[in-house]
């Protein structure tokens, strides 16, 4: 089950964290993995790990916010069976602490970046006669998150875009879903804690972990497992859905 043999998967932001876990798992399941990543060195390390394990993968160093570059990458790949829009950046601040430049920066990567990849991938999937798209949303798509105004805006857009694409391209045999994680233990989280809570890292990590009712953060590999299912043929009857993977945050955190 969940074989991706003979499938070509494009994963944005695949050089670290959730994207890395998805890239490694998809390659393990037989996919030819193409990572679009601004940090080419990080992505290359992932590809080398994939190749060492006997898989096949390629790095495309580009910013998802650059439509011309993104279209060129996809056209160069040619056949695309799976797209995982994972690349994203964060911002901390409420409305009053979000400057216009902050909002533009978040939009460029999180919203426009996903749009650019959808814009490039869907014509190729239509030619191929099918496709599976997975967009990385967030619990911020569903509930209010303190001091995350711009980030929440962007993930709400991802949620809505996923529904729109699912409806518009269902007749083309293209499925589109999204995942809404709560906190995931990635290098970004460790860096954020180290930067903002020097000398108090352990306590802050514990506090953030306990904000999930399940009592811990998710591991990237747990997110990757859900991504694998939704992009596999076994999920062929699923489209237009969002899947919270949140340790009970949305429903139980009252």
Sign of the Cα torsion 222, 226, 105, 160 reads negative
- Residue-wise pLDDT tens digits, 48-72: 999 999 999 999 999 999 999 999 9
Domain check: are 166 and 99 in the same one?
A: yes
Domain check: are 52 and 162 in the same one?
A: yes
Domain check: are 143 and 226 in the same one?
A: yes
pLDDT of residue 188: 85
Domain check: are 13 and 83 in the same one?
A: yes
Domain check: are 76 and 159 in the same one?
A: yes
pLDDT of residue 254: 61
Domain check: are 30 and 103 in the same one?
A: yes
Q: For residue 2, is it within any domain?
A: no
- In the chain, how many domains are there? 2
Q: Where residue 55 sits, what CATH number does that domain have?
A: 3.40.50.720
- Residue-wise pLDDT tens digits, 145-171: 999 999 999 999 999 999 999 999 999
pLDDT of residue 187: 87
Among all residues, which ones are annotated catalytic?
151
Write out residues in the chain with pLDDT < 50, as ranges. none
Domain check: are 211 and 233 in the same one?
A: no
pLDDT of residue 253: 79
pLDDT of residue 195: 86
Domain extent for 213? 185-217
Domain check: are 147 and 198 in the same one?
A: no
Six-digit token string for 95: 């409305």
Domain check: are 209 and 118 in the same one?
A: no
Q: For residue 85, is it within any domain?
A: yes
């Amino acid at each position: 089950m969940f074989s991706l043999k003979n499938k070509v998967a494009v994963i944005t932001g695949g050089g670290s964290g959730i994207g890395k876990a998805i890239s490694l798992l998809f390659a393990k399941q037989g996919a030819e993995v193409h990572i679009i990543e601004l940090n080419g060195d990080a992505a290359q390390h992932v590809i080398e790990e994939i190749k060492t394990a006997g898989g096949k993968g390629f790095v495309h160093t580009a910013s998802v916010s650059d439509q011309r570059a993104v279209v060129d990458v996809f056209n160069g790949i040619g056949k695309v069976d799976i797209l995982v829009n994972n690349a994203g950046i964060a911002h901390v601040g409420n409305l009053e602490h979000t400057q216009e430049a902050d909002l533009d920066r978040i939009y460029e990567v999180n919203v426009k970046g996903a749009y650019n990849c959808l814009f490039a991938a869907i014509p190729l999937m239509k030619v191929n006669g099918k496709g599976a798209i997975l967009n990385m949303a967030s619990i911020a798509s569903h509930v209010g998150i303190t001091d995350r105004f711009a980030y929440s805006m962007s993930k709400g857009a991802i949620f809505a875009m996923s529904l729109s694409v699912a409806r518009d391209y269902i007749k083309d045999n293209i499925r589109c879903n999204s995942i809404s994680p709560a906190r995931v233990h990635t290098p970004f989280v460790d860096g954020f804690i180290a930067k903002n809570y020097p000398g108090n890292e352990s306590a802050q990590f514990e506090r953030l972990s306990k904000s999930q009712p399940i009592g811990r953060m998710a591991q990237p590999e747990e997110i990757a497992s859900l991504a694998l299912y939704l992009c596999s043929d076994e999920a062929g009857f699923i489209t237009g859905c969002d899947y919270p993977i949140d340790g009970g945050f949305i429903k139980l955190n009252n």
